[in-house]
Structure 1
Amino acid sequence: MSTSTPPSGLDPALAAGNRRALAGYAARHFLWHCEGGVAHITLSRPARKNPLTFDSYAELRDLFRALQHAVDVKAVVLSGAGGNFCSGGDVHEIIGPLVQLKAPELLMFTRMTGDLVKAMRACPQPIVAAIDGVCAGAGAILAMASDLRLGTARAKTAFLFNRVGLAGCDMGACAMLPRIIGQGRASELLYTGRSMGGEEGLQWGFFNRLCAPEAVVDEALQLAREIAAGPSFANGITKTMLHQEWNMGVDQAIEAEAQAQAICMLTEDFRRAYEAFVAKQRPVFQGN
């Protein structure tokens, strides 16, 4: 990870510790490509429907944490290879070893998986998930933790934890899923572990829209490009407030938004938008 050139007037030591370039990141346990401010993460174990391992969990957690400081990534697309999104934790490389562990090591694992969701919610870049085929267990959680979800009619999303003898309260599911699709619908999925089809997911509000299987990744990338072309600092504030306001009363939220919006009014992008409007041009945002 290289350090980006600091803007004029910014102390190099401050920039070195808080701003970095990630477009050239070399992923080890999944695919990574970044172009034009849009990063594309592809879970790439298609022969087994792209399951997660201890290694990929940890690398994804660390990467999303690093994205908090990235200056060259404005939006992220998350997809799977081979016509499936993610089948969850690898049965042989995760589930098998877990049954041999004691409580301290099990808690280490569950905290690591939860930290991945925290990192996804904390990074300022909006995350667009492109979901086709199997989206199960931890894969369903990754979809849930994304900001936007494009699916296909053949997508099958299953929070199947109770089918393996576990509670549905995994990686924030009991907190986040009801806010996306409603308490009753979330309860049904978490108590039964059944699959939610693509059309059902669209009707329930889990998916923003459905796409053809051959087009879902391209449409997710296009949506990410549209977001990346916007005022990225302001988009990061929007994501932060969407997450933080879950724990606020209405009056507290209104005050927090007043403070957040006042900060955004200090940005050069706000000035650029005004000047472009006056000149009857389209603004070109630069994220500052």
Structure 2
Amino acid sequence: MTAYLAGLDAGTTRQMADYTATHFGWTLHDGVATVVLNRPARKNPLTFESYAELRDCFRALRSATDVHAVVLTGAGDNFCSGGDVHEIIGPLVSLAAPDLLRFTRLTGDLVLAMRACPQPIIAAVDGVCAGAGAILSMASDLRYGTARSKTAFLFNRVGLAGCDMGACALLPRIIGQGRASELLYTGRSMSGEEAERWGYFNRLVAPDALLGEAQAMAHQLRTGPTFANGITKTMLHQEWSMTIEQAIEAEAQAQALCMLTEDFRTAYHAFAAKQSPVFQGR
């Protein structure tokens, strides 16, 4: 059996401990990865290269066995100002339709990779969170913000539709259709207090405590039943397009699978012994 598992692991799992990133910061400690958009002098804008590398990173996380939660943040006092005006927006003006479609599919693939990886993603949002930066926070599973943060889906303000990178599908499910419509039609900024009130931010944190609070939550999730957490993320995403009958059946199958895990047995034995369970993600 061990030999069979070794062969299976070789094709379906990977370790991220030695992973290095070129276009963003990456650290991994005790099962929690921290991704830092790190161009603070320009409010951490994205480039063609960083889009692609972020997409590939989140794709790799789908098979990573040593990463159990992810924190996504920006360097300095801002989260992300969106696509770099000079390195992305300028070149897009002169591209032909097939190349523009390649770009928009690339950006959408990043969101798909974030939603498909089993690890919960916590966005720690301070300062400017605009355009594609707002999309990255939206595509995360949890969002911590600050009172001074300003989140803007500003595509309308640059002559584009608000339907970018899944915004028209994801944002209404987070804050409601009417509120999402207002933000996508106007491109205005949503303040930190408003974002928390509308349910976009899970909580507001002081700027100097933001990263620590997000990482603390990531470590809390990391000590939970991480296989089951991955199932929860999958079902939260997939059930959007299901009927209630389909969702209940899908959840019945998913929960039965979780009942086969070692973590489920561990929890039972710990409860019987009046102890706290130590989950292993298996």
TM range (shorter): over 0.9
Between the two proteins, the alignment pairs up a number of residues equal to: 282
Does the alignment pair 1:243 with 2:237? yes
Residue 214 of structure 1 aligns to a residue whose secondary structure is helix
Query: Aligned runs of 1:50-65 on 2, under 5 Å?
Result: 50-65=44-59
Describe the superposition over 1:196-231 as per-residue Cα deviations: whole angstroms up to 9, x where unpaired.
000000000000000000001100000000000000
> Match of 1:36?
30
Residue 187 (structure 1) aligned to one of 181, 189, 194: 181
Residue 161 of structure 1 aligns to a residue whose secondary structure is helix
Residue 161 (structure 1) aligned to one of 155, 160, 166: 155
Residue 11 of structure 1 aligns to a residue whose secondary structure is helix
| Separation in 1, partners of 2:197, 2:4 | 48
Does the alignment pair 1:147 with 2:141? yes
Residue 32 of structure 1 aligns to a residue whose secondary structure is strand
| Separation in 2, partners of 1:10, 1:75 | 28
> Match of 2:193?
199
Describe the superposition over 1:122-158 as per-residue Cα deviations: whole angstroms up to 9, x where unpaired.
0000000000000000000000000000000000000
| Separation in 2, partners of 1:208, 1:131 | 11
> Match of 1:11?
5
Q: Percent identity?
A: 74
> Match of 1:260?
254
Residue 125 (structure 2) aligned to one of 120, 131, 141: 131
Structure 1 residue 12 displacement after superposition: 2.5
Query: Is the CA contact 1:202–1:210 (under 8 Å) kept in the aligned structure 2?
Result: yes
Residue 73 of structure 2 aligns to a residue whose secondary structure is strand
* Residue type at the aligned position of 1:63: C
| Separation in 1, partners of 2:127, 2:187 | 16
Structure 1 residue 14 displacement after superposition: 1.8
| Separation in 2, partners of 1:249, 1:154 | 40
| Separation in 2, partners of 1:92, 1:192 | 24
* Residue type at the aligned position of 1:71: T
Query: Is the CA contact 1:89–1:137 (under 8 Å) kept in the aligned structure 2?
Result: yes
| Separation in 2, partners of 1:223, 1:285 | 16
Query: Is the CA contact 1:129–1:220 (under 8 Å) kept in the aligned structure 2?
Result: yes
Query: Is the CA contact 1:23–1:39 (under 8 Å) kept in the aligned structure 2?
Result: no
* Residue type at the aligned position of 1:19: T
| Separation in 1, partners of 2:202, 2:32 | 19
Does the alignment pair 1:211 with 2:210? no
* Residue type at the aligned position of 1:85: F
The structure-2 alpha-carbon separation of the partners of 1:9 and 1:226, relative to structure 1 and needing over 3 Å to count, comes to farther
Describe the superposition over 1:255-278 as per-residue Cα deviations: whole angstroms up to 9, x where unpaired.
100000000000000000001111
Query: Is the CA contact 1:162–1:168 (under 8 Å) kept in the aligned structure 2?
Result: yes
| Separation in 2, partners of 1:243, 1:262 | 19
Describe the superposition over 1:141-199 as per-residue Cα deviations: whole angstroms up to 9, x where unpaired.
00000000000000000000011110000000000000000000000000000000000
Structure 1 residue 9 displacement after superposition: 5.4
> Match of 2:266?
272
Residue 208 of structure 2 aligns to a residue whose secondary structure is coil
Residue 100 (structure 1) aligned to one of 74, 77, 94: 94
Query: Is the CA contact 1:24–1:34 (under 8 Å) kept in the aligned structure 2?
Result: no
| Separation in 2, partners of 1:10, 1:227 | 30
Q: Which runs of 4+ in 1 moved over 2 A?
A: 7-13
| TM-score, normalised via structure 2 length | 0.99
